Structure 1
Amino acid sequence: MDICHGKKRRRKVGGGSRTVTARMKREAARVLRSLAAKNNGRMEDEDDDDGFAIGFLRSGASLVGSPRYSLLREVGRGSYGVVYEAVARKTGARVAVKRLQCDAPENVELALAEFWALTSLENRHQNVVQLEECVLQRNGLAQKMSHGNKRSRQYLRLVEMSLKGERVLGYPEEPCYLWFVMEFCEAGDLNQYILSRRPDPQTNKSFMRQLTSAIAFLHKNNIVHRDLKPDNILISQKSGTPVLKVADFGLSKVCAGLNTKSNEEHPMVVSGSKGSNQNNTVNINKFWLSSACGSDFYMAPEVWEGHYTAKADIFALGIIIWAMIERITFIDAESKRELLGTYIRQGSEIVPVGEALLENPKMVLHIPQRARSSMSEGVRNLLQDMLAVNPQDRPDAFQLEMRMDQVTCAA
């Protein structure tokens, strides 16, 4: 069960694959045309300030140029949209292509949150999924999206749609889509990777260091993920060794430029251009957020109350690492998948750790949970601190990164 703004949100379907139908391929071919082709038609009222040529024509017209990407298969589907595995025709590189239909304000809000978070990063990090480009498609035409492009009326209309909570762009008979082209992670998500292999302490240590490094990077760049869970941690093995990639920033919050007394200000207002995340002297843990959102088994106690900071990411990471080391799982009621996640047993029911701690702040967590656990004393103490009821008792992301290096090297 996923929650956002106090409401349940349908869990995304992960894993598996579906055959891409001919209709899907035709639709994708119309969208993923050569972005370098000469412009034979523009989106109405657009200012092409960055010199980007729109290589798309209206529906029914002959298309120019050759498609940049070929869709291979569908790898994920949910209420948020569809994700395909694709190949870049020029280089042969595999990419992931995510299509989000902007038919409802909540979908636009998720899409823009991910777009803002990933495009606000000036530097790359090997453990954060890389966004290659984002394309807005409407009425057979398309335009490449750029961060904070206030000269683009289509971009501003998307922002307006998200803020007003009502449709202002496109009509049901004239669908509008955002297409995200991202790096492809061929080894699936953390659930699939861990549960399909024998326990390996060295892999666990590597993953723990990679995860803490990714979160330290995001927090340094003033991004709170807010939905850390094994589903949203992807694995790439292109280098021969598994590399984690934190993904799915639909619930993330870019905090750069916010006033510490302001809650949930909109990134459109505070980050008008790329590079606004450079204020790294600001303590991200001073920004208070109020939207209770995330996936319940990984949510910190204070998130359930709707008053929290970036320290909520530290709690979620503690749940993930604890479950990964001891292979603690539960069956998701909606997807019926076995997922990594720790919980508290109350009679015949299982309760998320954060919810249980909210109800009983004096409850003592038994870490490790299993009698025969390979968990070291250093890791156990670190997890206890990461899962502290009081967020102020948890290490911040930078302290966590240093301590994780120490405990994994000593183990």
Structure 2
Amino acid sequence: MDICDGKRRRKVSGGVRSCRRSVAAKMKREAVKVLRSLTVGNNNKRAEAMDEEEDEDCFSISFLRSDPSRPAAAVSPRYSLLREVGRGSYGVVYEAVARRTGARVAVKRLQCDAPENVELALAEFWALTSLENRHQNVVQLEECVLQRNGLAQKMSHGNKKSKQYLRLVETSLKGERILGYPEEPCYLWFVMEFCEGGDLNQYILSRRPDPQTNSSFMLQLTSAIAFLHKNNIVHRDLKPDNILISQKSGSPVLKVADFGLSKVCAGLTSKSSEEDPTARAAGKGSNQYNTVNINKFWLSSACGSDFYMAPEVWEGHYTAKADIFALGIIIWAMVERITFIDAESKRELLGTYVRQGSEIIPVGEALLENPKMVLHIPQKARSSMTDGVKKLLLDMLAVNPQDRPDALQLEIRMDQVTFAA
């Protein structure tokens, strides 16, 4: 994730989170206490080391413990960690298994030790729990558990009876560490469907170009964004890192994930500014709010990852049309396999850019500086891109957001251009 202040950056950044080794080691030790790992192979030393860990709280025994009076040791763990699959500056993602069913799940552990971390965690929780229906191309949240001071409690949207939940919201609003960390550590655990195919970068760049896969992925991505916007959710951090691949059905299925910067847009009028979190904390549902036109709901936090940010995001005045721009960058890069090397992780990432001498500049930033700049799509001389996809991408990457299709229009047009191909 890359929080931007609107100034030009010359350091190539793909938005990969990082943290110090000492912090990472501490978080890993804490995770072992919370969810006991299954013994893999002959890893007896690891199992013995885990047995030596203190088992002080009920969360290390069970995610949800319905009867607090029962001894912790009497409850079996519901999930067991297998391995770490991702790490960021404020959380860790593990592959885990549900002991009762044997199903693989992804478990994200978010450390709520600072207001900015709490804000990111709650944003993801609000976005995923606000969805009444499932969509095959949006990652599914199975449950969210709040752990604090040795107690675990299942989180529910707008739970006014939960003091722990309200204190989290208060931490986010006041910007103060009111939870007493580190004396009373607080964590949020998200249990989600597991995507074994990695992210979009890994999948595309590890395989030969395939026009059929490109068409399928374009349809899936536009369907997911149309679904999110229809449900008043602006993602605000669309990038290949945040698009996961599930291969359970045999064919690759995309899953839009990581809603830490998302915004649930709901208000009394379409002129409302960013949603008031106190309303959500109080449990005010859609019946107390009028549905707004998400493309007229103005946002002001300049956030996202440089190479996918729309021009207006750099200025801090934008709508859901910024997601359309980011999706245009992703699709363009995917079809033509345009990549850059991230300065921090040294990974090769999908992303389009504009060259200025020896430097590469994010397309959105370049368009902000020169709104009359003409984008050369396709970029490569030998490109399989059709005229229909070219025209659609030019519209998605228009400088003026009003000239871009909205998510529903985009879904219809993408059906047309992929069918024609």
Length-normalised TM-score, structure 1? 0.89
Task: From the superposition, tell whether residues 410 and 135 of structure 1 become closer, same or farther in structure 2 (CA, over 3 Å).
Answer: same
The unaligned stretches of length 5 or more in structure 1 are 42-54
Q: Which residue of 1 aligns with 2:256?
A: 246
Give the structure 2 partner of residue 25 of structure 1.
32
Supply the AA of the counterpart residue of 2:3: I
Q: Deviations over 1:60-98 (max 9, x none)?
A: xx4331000010000011102100000000111100000
Q: Is the 8 A contact 1:83 1:99 kept in 2?
A: yes
Q: Deviations over 1:151-195 (max 9, x none)?
A: 111111100000011111132132110000000000000000000
Q: Would the aligned equivalents of 2:217 and 2:254 in 1 still touch at CA under 8 Å? A: yes
Secondary structure, aligned partner of 2:3: strand
The match for 1:259 among 254, 260, 269 is: 269
- Residues 223-238 of structure 1 mapped to structure 2, 5 A cutoff: 223-238=233-248
Please give the secondary structure, in 2, of the residue aligned with 1:132.
Answer: strand
TM-fit CA distance, 1:6: 6.0
Q: 1:379 to 1:279 in 2, by over 3 A?
A: farther
The alpha-carbon deviation at position 271 of structure 1 amounts to: 7.3
AA at the equivalent of 2:17: K
Q: Please tell me whether the aligned partners of residues 256 and 277 of structure 1 are also in contact (alpha carbons under 8 angstroms).
A: no
Cross-structure match for 1:356: 366
Looking at structure 2, the residues matched to 227 and 178 of structure 1 have their Cα atoms a distance apart, in angstroms, of 21
1:119 alignment partner in structure 2: 129
Residues 220 and 280, structure 1, Cα contact 8 Å, conserved in 2: no
Judged with a 3 Å threshold, the aligned counterparts in structure 2 of structure 1 residues 242 and 32 are, in CA distance, closer, same or farther, namely farther
Q: Residue 340 of structure 1: which of 325, 343, 350 is its match? A: 350
Identity %: 83
Q: 1:130 aligns with which of 134, 137, 140?
A: 140
Deviations 1:235-258 (A, max 9, x none): 000000000000000000000235
1:86 aligns with 2:114: no
Going from structure 1 to structure 2, the CA distance change for 1:225 and 1:277 (only over 3 Å counts) comes to farther
Structure-2 change in CA distance of 1:277 and 1:205 (3 Å): farther
CA contact (8 A) 1:297 1:354 kept: yes
Q: Secondary structure at the match of 1:193?
A: helix
Are the equivalent residues in 2 in contact too, given 1:225–1:251 (CA < 8 A)? yes
Of 182, 186, 193, which aligns to 2:196? Answer: 186
Alignment partners' CA distance in 2, 1:5 and 1:68: 43
Cα separation, partners in 2 of 1:208 and 1:218, compared to 1, 3 Å: same
Partner of 1:45: none
Which position in structure 2 is the counterpart of 1:291?
Answer: 301
Give the counterpart letter for 1:97 in structure 2. V
The one-letter amino acid of 2:80's match is S
User: Where do residues 6-405 of structure 1 align in structure 2 (5 Å cutoff)?
Assistant: 11-12=16-17, 24-29=31-36, 31=59, 33-35=61-63, 37-40=65-68, 62-257=72-267, 259-270=269-280, 272-273=282-283, 276=286, 282-405=292-415
Distance change >3 Å, CA 300–CA 258, structure 1 → 2 = farther
Q: Report the Cα offset of residue 274 of structure 1.
A: 8.0
CA distance in 1, matches of 2:354, 2:298: 27
Distance 2:160 2:300 in 1: 27
Alpha carbons of 1:113 and 1:390: their partners in 2 closer, same or farther (altered >3 Å)? same
2:81–2:96 contact (8 Å) kept in structure 1? yes
Asked if structure 2 preserves the Cα contact closer than 8 Å seen for 1:4 and 1:291, the reply is no
Tell me what 2:51 maps to.
none
Q: 1:334 Cα shift?
A: 1.0
- Change over 3 Å in CA distance of 1:333–1:21 after alignment to 2: closer
2-structure distance, mates of 1:129, 1:348: 39
Whether contact under 8 Å (1:229, 1:298) holds in the other structure is yes
* CA distance in 1: counterparts of 2:100 and 2:151, whole angstroms: 22
1:394 aligned partner, one-letter code: R
Aligned residues: 389
Indicate the residue corresponding to 1:3 in structure 2: 3
Is the CA contact 2:35–2:77 (under 8 Å) kept in the aligned structure 1? no
Per-residue deviation, 1:117: 0.2
- Summarize the Cα distance change of 1:229–1:136 in structure 2 as closer, same or farther, 3 Å threshold: same
The Cα shift of 1:103 comes to: 0.4
- Once the 2 structures are TM-superposed, how far is the Cα of residue 150 of structure 1 from its aligned partner? 1.2
- Find the aligned partners of 1:191 and 1:129 in 2 and give their Cα distance: 17
Q: Tell me, in whole angstroms, the C-alpha distance in 1 between the residues paired with 2:28 and 2:88.
A: 17
1:47 corresponds to: none
SS at match of 1:388: coil
1:270–1:258 CA distance, 2 compared to 1 (3 A)? farther
Q: Is the CA contact 1:6–1:293 (under 8 Å) kept in the aligned structure 2?
A: no
User: Does structure 1 conserve the Cα–Cα contact (< 8 Å) formed by 2:146 and 2:154?
Assistant: yes
Q: Distance in 2 between matches of 1:324 and 1:275?
A: 38
Deviation by residue 1:170-226 (Cα, 9 ceiling, x = unmatched): 321321100000000000000000000000000000000000000000000000000
The structural deviation recorded for 1:33 is 3.7
Contact 2:169–2:277 under 8 Å retained in 1: no
Tell me how far 1:335 sits from its aligned partner: 1.0
Give the residue type in structure 2 aligned to 1:358.
L
The superposition leaves residues 5-33 of structure 1 with CA deviations (integer Å, 9 ceiling, x where unpaired) of: 669996236xxxx9x97764233245364
Change (3 A) 1:387 1:258: farther
Query: What is the CA distance between 1:278 and its match in structure 2?
Result: 10
1:272: how far off? Answer: 4.7
